[in-house]
Structure 1
Amino acid sequence: MSERDAVDAIVDQWTRERPDLDPGPMSLVGRLKRVHNHVDLGMREYFARHGLDFSEFDVLATLRRSGPPYELNARALLESAMVTSGAITNRVDRLSAKGLVERRPSPTDRRAVLIGLTPRGLELIDGILAGHIENEERLIDPLSGAERAQLDALLRKLLRTYEATDR
């Protein structure tokens, strides 16, 4: 048997207190939530060292991976982030105040605004991206390559189910 963790103790308590219920789902979801908390903390700490939070990194990374000229309209940015328009506005406002993104009118649609990386924003995202990937590597280091592939496939299956129902 593998080593026990904190979730095993919780499952044992529920098994003792409610033997009529199967706490198996609690076990899996509890571990997912706890792993998420650890990963989230590791990522927040990394981004904070660069003066960002995750949501700001997400905007910069979305613009960077869009390719030159590293700009998107607000709708495309909103769809990529899957948050409210108010949340995107707040993120862009914070990044703009830091000099990392700028807004400019769209040359093809007078009603649209393009949000783009500034040279400083491009330099920052390019400068921290490799470290971000190294940090993620550190966070999943206990898993072998085969385990990572298996977990990735299983999580993709769950995610596709949820996202298919969100449409």
Structure 2
Amino acid sequence: MNDLVDLVLSQWEQECPNLDISPMSVLSRVFRFHAFAARDVGQAFKRYHLHQGEFDVLATLYRTGAPYAMNPQKLVAALLLTSGAMTNRLDRLEQAGLLARTPNPDDRRGVIVALTAEGLRVIKQVLKDYLRELETLLAPLNATERRQMAGLLKKLLIPHDQETPGGIAA
């Protein structure tokens, strides 16, 4: 069975027979799959009036474990954001009652950001929906194929993770 990328590749092969377009075979599919994944996962977030970036903040606080709190500078580093972008996300989440800012006992000039009880409830539910969406996206692959794909993608990412630890610099 052919996909849209096969059609695009055949057109490139016709137009540019002397160019090696094989990298497009992989990366065009990765980009295309990412677009579908972002769309589908975005629908799960919309049910909770969240965007991807807000989910990322809640998920980062949740995965660090109880008391589900950290200073904003660590959040900025974990998510590779500017402080302005982080402030906007924190403001929206605080207004929604999903997190609270409290004075940092170790630094009178700073604050600690923590999930509220409602924030913890929401991230637990959103996470279930998020994982359900991911499962649906990966349904065509069996467990062995998923492990193979994860291993191959990891192999591609390791050199870039060493270049920019933690993520992609803006």
1:140 to 138, 141, 153: 138
Task: Name structure 1 gaps, 5 residues minimum.
Answer: none
CA deviations on 1:10-40 (whole Å, 9 max, x unpaired) are 1111111111101101121111100000000
How many angstroms does 1:74 deviate by?
Answer: 0.8
Aligned residue-pair number: 165
User: Which residue of the partner structure matches residue 60 of structure 1?
Assistant: 58
Larger deviation, residues 78-87 vs 7-16: 78-87
Q: Taking structure 1 as the reference length, what is the TM-score of the superposition?
A: 0.94
Letter in 2 for 1:110: R
- The 8 Å contact of residues 44 and 126 in structure 2, kept in 1 or not, is answered as no
Secondary structure of the structure 1 residue equivalent to 2:113: strand
Measured after TM superposition, the shift of residue 127 of structure 1 is: 2.3
Q: Does 1:106 align with 2:126?
A: no
Residue number in structure 2 paired with 1:120: 118
**Secondary structure of 2:114 counterpart:** strand
2:36 to 33, 38, 42: 38
RMSD: 1.1
Hey, which bits of structure 1, 4+ residues long, moved more than 4 A? Answer: none
Structure 1 position 139, deviation (Å): 1.0
User: Is contact 2:41-2:133 (8 Å) kept?
Assistant: yes
SS of residue paired to 1:116: strand
For 1:116, give the aligned amino acid.
A
Measure how far apart 1:131 and its partner are. Answer: 2.1
**1:160 aligns with one of 137, 158, 161:** 158
Instruction: Tell me which residue corresponds to 2:13.
Output: 15
- Picking from 73, 79, 90, the partner of 1:75 is 73
SS class of match (2:141): coil
| C-alpha distance in structure 1 between counterparts of 2:68 and 2:163, whole Å | 31
How much has 1:112 moved relative to structure 2? 2.2
**Partner residue in 1 for 2:25:** 27
Corresponding residue SS for 1:111: strand
Which amino acid letter does the alignment assign opposite residue 62 of structure 2? Answer: R
**1:89 corresponds to which letter in structure 2?**
T
Deviation of 1:130 (Å): 1.8
Q: Percent of pairs identical after alignment?
A: 42
Gaps of 5+ in 2: 166-170
- The residue type equivalent to 1:146 in the other structure is T
| Deviating more after overlay: 144-153 vs 117-126 | 117-126
The equivalent of 2:83 in structure 1 is 85
Measure, in 2, the Cα distance between the counterparts of 1:126 and 1:28.
Answer: 34
Q: Deviations over 1:22-81 (max 9, x none)?
A: 110112111110000000001001110111111111111111111111111012111221
Contact 2:104 2:110 survives alignment (8 Å): yes
